Amino acid sequence: MGLVLPHGGGELKPLLLEGEARQEKIGQARGYKTLEITSREARDCFMLGIGAFTPLTGFMGRADWHGVCSEMRLDSGLFWPMPITVSCGDADGIEPGDKVALVSPEYGGLVATMDVREKYQIDKQLECLHVFSTDEAVHPGVAKVMAQKKWNLAGPVSVVSEGGFPEEYGQLYARPAQTRALFQQMGWSRVAAFQTNNPMHRSHEYLVKIAVEVMDGVLVHQELGRLKAGDIPIQVRVRAINALLDNYFVRGTVVSKGYPMEMRHGGPREALLHAVFRQNFGCSHLIVGRDHAGVGDYYGPFDAQKIFQTLPEGSLELRPLTIDWTFYCDKCEGMASMKTCPHGKEHRLLLSGTMVCKTLSEGGEPPREFSRPEVLEVLRDYYQSLDGKVDI
Amino acid sequence: MGLVLPHGGGELKPLLLEGEARQEKIGQARGYKTLEITSREARDCFMLGIGAFTPLTGFMGRADWHGVCSEMRLDSGLFWPMPITVSCGDADGIEPGDKVALVSPEYGGLVATMDVREKYQIDKQLECLHVFSTDEAVHPGVAKVMAQKKWNLAGPVSVVSEGGFPEEYGQLYARPAQTRALFQQMGWSRVAAFQTNNPMHRSHEYLVKIAVEVMDGVLVHQELGRLKAGDIPIQVRVRAINALLDNYFVRGTVVSKGYPMEMRHGGPREALLHAVFRQNFGCSHLIVGRDHAGVGDYYGPFDAQKIFQTLPEGSLELRPLTIDWTFYCDKCEGMASMKTCPHGKEHRLLLSGTMVCKTLSEGGEPPREFSRPEVLEVLRDYYQSLDGKVDI
């Protein structure tokens, strides 16, 4: 058995130019109009560049945008759950037929070029209601759509940069072709992806271990890139995750890598986008736990699991590996989920990662049933370094 | 999504007659030649009767027997991993064209009738070497083949008895049509079967719980029928299993039922037979742990897992859910398998059910990491009742 095919059933379509072609494109781009793009847009360019958004060839036009918002279909009929778009204002002076240099100040300047084929206006409220199920401006995904400029631009893209990710993250950063080669080398065909942008505690360990038991292997797949204020720095998160993987997993059962896409907090729809690009990375399954890619109370805790059941047959090759709320139970004497533990609340340790960070930052000691000592040590060091007053 | 189809892709084929047709057949059988059959043969009749051996219509002829032994194929090409045969001697005086009453003294007399179409001799050594990978007479499966009489008889069978199983085991006993109806009623389509003929300890609980996490539900499926000397009585085993299911599983995630087939101890080949009939019972998966259906050291601990990978595509709809050796690990602080625990032997509690029975029968107390207190209580009561000297 081989790996799952890339989305759409064809080959991976990386849009990244390399070597001479890249140098040539960079030279040409000096003569192009320039468009400064947002962090989300730049990171979508990196995803397009490495083939993680296969089979897209660039940013979406109006027909694709509308089909994706309302029916989760590209104009071609292919399943796609969230718009991948770039916007410009009147002042940018860009028109169809232009070649444009897409520039990101955050990610080192020129990121990609686009042949503009279409310039169109969208109903942002329609997009938000379909994609985020809300148009409240405090929703971080909605806020970014609402902040988009007046026009969307569509057209094929050539990517000339990976935004410094390979240099910054080294082996942790991997393109879909690389994870696929790695899985093949390990003899894996059934591979589950575990999405994370946080340190992993025992409940995450439990999710991944269930997948290890029933799959050939697991890809622990971390979001890389710019953080929100208050987030644990990525290098600290990586150390905490490595402390878990090194001490509690068998070598050869888990691969730890990162990807450049910016979290949209789109809950169910974003879980589907996570599924699409994980299929491109070679994963046959995506672990979907409680409140996947959610934010606040916008989504029911299992909406992201349920949406997979509503997809027409053939939408995706990847299957969700859905797991209920997980915790330590002192009657089970181990980790369990709502599906496997029949005991009462009073036996369960239900904590959140956020609460643990709070406890640690206040010098407290979270219970060992919640998190492994090696992981807590990494986090404790970080919080101590933040302010000398933490006393443990 | 519906349930997995019966083996062969058609309808269930129960050969059991009921009501008037059964009475009529019993009347006719009074005029038939009589053949006394073994316990294994009688229990195969019950499996044929309830449709668990769908699509077989009776005992196998020479072409089926040979194809099954050498290539795991019926003459029709359909996958089938072990012979299902009945034998007679010269003294039985049975010839092709005869109608025969199959009688089991152990299971209440007349079990089934057969229209004899074929009478053939087999190479028992060939059967044993193919099916059991050994012809050593101390292997209990080999011993039974070697004890078969001179001729095999083949032909369609009508079953008139369930051998008293429904009366003896009540709700625990179920036909494939019944488990299928039950699964449908529960809204299950992905159902894993867990095979057992022993009490369940924590490692078995762990196997089943992994399946509960990733499937819609689990069928805990016990062998019912005549025991070997020294086995725990079935009613005790059932109480021990119920003690585990009632106290450590969520209602609606597990169904506990029994089936009448006699264990052949055929290791990998028997695991495949277990898979075939579990598919008939409506299961999409079979949990295959360490040394499934093995005996002594005849099979490698994971031979029964590996054999599934050797089957040509389309042999079976059911998939194996293979899980490594499981145990409690004090560094993991929970149950784990060789695939999920990286810690050394010194951290692992590796006991066998046999050792626990020995400890209990000698008045000792097995560690709670090995077995749940509610299960140990049932077993302790049993061993105490066996001999008044046990002091706990």
At B65, which CATH number? 3.10.400.10
Domain harbouring A324, CATH code: 3.40.50.620
Q: What is the mean pLDDT of residues A308-322?
A: 96
pLDDT-derived band at A229 (thresholds 50, 70, 90) equals: confident
Higher-confidence residue: B220 or A225?
B220
CA distance A365 to chain B (A): 18
Same domain, B123 and B37: yes
CB A132 within 8 A of CB A298: yes
> Which of A134, A162, A190 is the endpoint of a domain?
A162
Q: What is the pLDDT of residues B190-208, one digit of tens each?
A: 999 999 999 999 999 999 9
B70 and B176 share a domain?
A: no
State the CB neighbour count (10 A cutoff) for residue A351: 19
- Interatomic CA distance for residues A40 and A221, integer angstroms: 18
- Does residue B270 sit within a domain? no
In a domain, B1, yes or no: no
Residue A392 has pLDDT above 50, yes or no: no
A390 has a pLDDT exceeding 50: no
Give the number of other CB atoms < 10 A from CB of residue B235. Answer: 12
What is the tens place of the pLDDT at every residue in B256-289? 999 999 999 999 999 999 999 999 999 999 999 9
Higher pLDDT, B223 or A350: B223
pLDDT reading at A388 higher than 60: no
| Inside any domain, residue A194 | yes
Query: Most A CBs within 10 Å: which of B204, B216, B323, B339, as the mutation test of the A interface?
Result: B339
Record: contact A341-B250, CB cut-off 8 A: yes
- Determine which of B204, B214, B337 to mutate to test the interface with A (most A C-beta atoms within 10 Å): B214
- A8 within a domain of the structure (yes/no): no
Q: Which residue from B249, B333, B339 is facing A212, i.e. has the nearest CB?
A: B339
Cβ neighbours of A5 (radius 10 Å): 15
Mean pLDDT along residues B228-232? 77
Q: pLDDT category, A359, cuts 50, 70, 90?
A: confident
B138-159: pLDDT as tens digits: 999 999 999 999 999 999 999 9
CA dist A144 and B293 (Å) reads 59
Structural domains in chain B (count): 2
Percent of residues, chain B, with pLDDT higher than 90: 90
* Domain identity same for A149 and A171: no
Are both B60 and B171 inside the same structural domain? no
Give domain status of residue A5, yes or no.
no
Domain boundary among A105, A129, A162: A162
* pLDDT of B88 above 50: yes
Asked whether the predicted pLDDT for residue B390 surpasses 50, the reply is no
Same domain flag for B254 and B144: no
Co-location of A48 and A96 in the same domain: yes
Domain presence at residue B226: yes
A234 and A126 together in one domain: no
B145 and B182 inside one domain: no
pLDDT at A174 over 90: yes
Is there a single domain that holds both residue A242 and residue A145? no
The Cα B249–Cα B201 span in angstroms is 13
Portion of chain B with pLDDT greater than 70, in percent: 98
pTM of the model: 0.94
Contacts of A248 in chain B (CB under 8 A): 332, 342
Do B157 and B215 have their domain in common?
no
Across the range A46-69, mean pLDDT stands at 98
Q: What is the pLDDT of residue B388?
A: 52
CA–CA distance, B310 with B120 (Å, rounded to integer)? 30
Residue A118 has pLDDT above 60, yes or no: yes
Residue B275 lies in a domain: no
Whether residue A199 is found in the same domain as residue A155: no
Residue A389 has pLDDT above 50, yes or no: no
Give domain status of residue B303, yes or no.
no
Could you tell me which residues come within 8 angstroms of residue B156 by beta carbon, excluding any fewer than 6 positions away?
B15, B57, B58, B114, B115, B117
What is the average pLDDT across B14-26?
98
Pair (A33, A127) in one structural domain: yes
Which range of residues forms the domain containing residue B333?
A: 167-259+318-386
The pLDDT-based confidence of B392 (bands split at 50, 70, 90) is very low
* More confident of the two residues B87 and A1: B87
pLDDT for position A391 = 40
Looking at A128, A162, A196, the residue that finishes a domain is A162
As a whole number of angstroms, the distance between CA A150 and CA A276 comes to 28
pLDDT at residue A21 greater than cutoff 90: yes
Residue B217: closest C-alpha in chain A:
A339
